[in-house]
Amino acid sequence: MAARPQQPKPRQRRGNTPRNAKQGTLPFRQRGGRREGAGRKPNGDQALVSHASRATLAARFPAHVTMKLQRGLPRLRNRAEYQALLAAFAGGCDRGTFRLTHYAVLNDHLHLLVEAADRASLSRGLQGLAIRIAKALNKLWRRRGTVFADRYHDRVLKTPREVRNALLYVLGNGKKHAAEGRAVKVGQAIDTFTSAPWFDGFREAFTVRGIEAVPRPVTEAHTWMLTLGWRRHGLLSVHDLPATG
């Protein structure tokens, strides 16, 4: 008896799933929605300053700016570091539409009071100043790389009272830290790691020896707020401390 010929099996097309097979549940990513890890990455371990739109700046308003250093860098309140900063300040304090009028140097950050024609002028002026500072400090430290941890923080000062408080905060912040027992020392009536030696708004008279030999690291204020307006609330005293610091 002859063997029955075998029926050919139906061919299965590549890429098609057999009818009796169950479709897998692989975690395919769907279109739309927020992707994990999307968005601008912070500099450093975490973002220090919000990247939301900044407040509008008018030429008549000063601004209080804070610039923080990367972690692990030497302290700024050392003689050599401060000399490098003074040179950078002197070279970048007056750029026409941007002016550095007051400053304070802390161990790992800077406080600046500045004037600018507008938001773009403020950004350009601070960028130029930051580059000067970074180059000076990197040369001193014999290193390369980023110096500042994240983009600067600024607060627009819109009233004479706010300007006076900012002046007190900037010029007295080091003394506040010293009084609280932090790693800051201030051995004189004023903090010489600030622009206090060039400030004419103290009630007390004092002299700083050798100040005439130091290139002026700040420029004269132009706004009414920083020249006359804040004085309506009283001159500062060398004994005043900021309420917070």
Residue 82 · residue 76 · CB < 8 Å: yes
Q: What residues does each domain of the chain span?
A: 63-233
| Count of CA atoms in the C-beta half-sphere (13 A) of 8 | 3
List pLDDT tens digits, range 184-229. 778 778 999 999 999 999 999 988 888 889 999 999 999 999 999 9
The confidence band for 53, taking pLDDT boundaries of 50, 70 and 90, is low
> How many angstroms separate the CA atoms of 109 and 112, rounded?
10
Q: Please say whether the structural domain 63-233 has been given the CATH code 3.30.70.20.
A: no
> How many angstroms separate the CA atoms of 208 and 197, rounded?
7
Q: Could you write out the DSSP letters of every residue in 119-148?
A: HHHHHHHHHHHHHHHHHHHHHHHT--S--B
pTM here is: 0.76
List pLDDT tens digits, range 56-91. 789 999 999 999 999 999 999 999 999 999 999 999
